[in-house]
Structure formats: structure tokens, C-alpha cells
Amino acid sequence: MSNKTKKFSRRNFMRSGALVAAALTAPRDILALCQEKSSLGKTSDETAPIRLGLASYTFRNFTRAQLIGFMKQLNVFALNAKDVQDHLPVNSQGEAAALADYAAAGIKLHAAGAIYFAKDEDADIRAKFEYCKRAAIPVIVAGDPAPETLPRIEKFVKEYDIRVAIHNHGPEDKLWPSPLDVLKTVKHMDSRIGCCIDVGHAVRAGADIVQAIHEAGPRLLNVHMKDLTSFQNKESQVAVGDGIIPVRRMFEALVAIQYPGFVDLEYEIHPDDPLPGAIESFAYMRGVVAGLGYRRES
């Protein structure tokens, strides 16, 4: 183990211990739900009140084999895959090879994206739904669908029974800066169309992240997790727990709405060496979950 990894591990151990102690001040209804689920013997990230996963974009500069190795080191086996490097190729043969590798490693794919819908055409949209159907992926994280394309996308949502989570991209995004913008547009559409809240982009767009979670309710289909030291600066991203995102209140809100999806770490900084930050981020998030009354067996 490198000195850098040891440094992160010691810091995370101390931080996680403090978060467990913070459970004493957690709201009783939150604790009750966490304890009820814990009593059922659910002991992994995937079955905790907050299910943690990884956005493969975090390791966008690394091959699929390297990604799998990193996931094993992180002890994370839930993946939001993107067609970057060879993580999940769009061609059927390459996709099949990737799926075989993930299955052999015990990794389950729960979402794909961001996938971009640049054309308002049946053939183009169907190809993307087929891509996810082949992988048995239940959620498409949609990057930039134009509002006028959504009725056509809705038709495929009904046909394939695959959910579409529209991803917000902050104040630079003229279509979907905030998850609240997504919710206004899709509120009368099929319930399987909702939002992927990108936490960092949402707060930069002025959204109260806790309020946004409550407003999204059952239309919250995916979460991209990151942390910032400034809500006005896109370049201020840090490991989760080192910034000012209210992670604990976020997780309390997710438990309160009985969010069934995943919180996927999307660590976008240090693309050539993201593992230390990912280690720190997962340790912090697991500490917050423990602080809400859930204990994870390693």
C-alpha cells in the first residue's frame, strides 16, 4: 500500500468514526427505517438505505480491466456505465464482451450514461434503448434531450420499460441547468421519465439539493454524487466530505422519500489518478450511512 493510500485510509477511519457517533442526533424516523432494513440482514452497499455505486466516467482514462480492478479495491460492485474507453461499447459484440467481464467480477450494471439523444428520430433512439436492453440496464441517464424529443423518447420508455433520468448540467446548460427544470417539463409524462440529480451541477444552478430531492420524489431515478468547496465555482470539486455539500442531510432526504436507486460517485477531477479521491469519497459516504444507523459488514 502506498503512503498516499495509507494517508487517506487513516483520515477516513477517523472521519467515519465521528460520523457513527453523529447517529445520536439523527432524526428518529430516519433511524427507525435504517434499523428496520438492517435487521433484515442486508449488509452490502447495494442493500443499505443508501445504495452506493460508481459512475464509470470517474475512471474514463482507464481500460475496463483497470476499472474492474479499481472497483474491487473500492469494494463497489454497482456500476453506472458509460461508452468511454472500452467500459461499455455500443456495438453488440464489444458490449457482450464487457458484460461477460463484469459478470465474472460480480459487478452489476444499474444504469448507463450519460447517453445523448441528439436526433429526434426513431432509429437513433431505438438503438440506444436496444443498447441498454442487451445489458439488462433499467435506467438510461440522458444527457441533453431536447424538450421536443421527449414525447418520442416516452414512446420507447413504454415499449422497453426502461426508465429515463434526465441529467442536469448546471448553469451552463441552457436546457436542464437544475433538476427542478427537468421536473417542470416531465411532470405530466410517463412516471418512468424523471431526473438524475447531479449534485454539484444542481447546487451551482442555485438548487437547494435537499429540497430538490423531496420535490423529485418518485421521479428521482439516479444521483451523480460529487462535492464542491464553492457553489459558484465548477472547478472547486473535491473528494466527497472535503467540501460543503450537505451530504448527511441529502442522505436523510433520500431515505425519507424511500429512494430506490443508486448514489453513484462521479469523481471528475484528477482523471489520471482518481483512486485516492474515490477511496476517500466512499469512506466518507459509508461513514454517513453508518451515522444514520446502518452498519456495513466488510
Domain with 33, as residue range(s), is 3-291
> By the 8 A CB rule, do 49 and 292 touch?
yes
pLDDT of residue 65: 98
Q: Residues 6 or more apart from 111 whose CB is under 8 A from it? A: 53, 80, 81, 137, 138, 139, 140, 141, 165, 222, 262, 264
Per-residue pLDDT of the chain (298 residues; tens, 9 = 90+): 444 333 344 344 434 443 433 333 333 333 333 333 333 333 356 557 899 999 999 999 999 999 999 999 999 999 999 999 999 999 999 999 999 999 999 999 999 999 999 999 999 999 999 999 999 999 999 998 999 999 999 999 999 999 999 999 999 999 999 999 999 999 999 999 999 999 999 999 999 999 999 999 999 999 999 999 999 999 999 999 999 999 999 999 999 999 999 999 999 999 999 999 999 999 999 999 999 987 553 3
Domain-embedded: residue 114: yes
Q: What is the pTM of this model?
A: 0.84
Residue positions counted in the chain: 298
The three-class DSSP label of residue 56 is helix
* Structural domain includes residue 40: yes
Q: What does each C-alpha distance from 45 to 72, 77, 173 come to in angstroms? A: 13, 9, 32
Task: Indicate whether 182 belongs to any domain.
Answer: yes
- The domain that holds 98 is classified in CATH as 3.20.20.150
Q: Which three cell numbers stand for residue 6?
A: 495509507
Give a yes or no: residue 258 inside a domain: yes
Q: Is residue 296 part of a domain?
A: no
Q: Given this model, what pLDDT does residue 46 score?
A: 57
Cα gap 21→291, rounded to integer Å:
6
Q: Look at residue 113 and tell me if it is in a domain.
A: yes
Give the total number of structural domains in the chain. 1
In a domain, 231, yes or no: yes
Whole-number pLDDT of residue 5: 39
If you write DSSP's letter for every residue of 57-126 in order, what string do you get?
Answer: GGGTTS-HHHHHHHHHHHT--EEEE-SSTTSS-SSHHHHHHHHHHHHHHT-EEEEEEEE------HHHHH
Tell me the C-alpha distance between 276 and 59, whole Å: 12
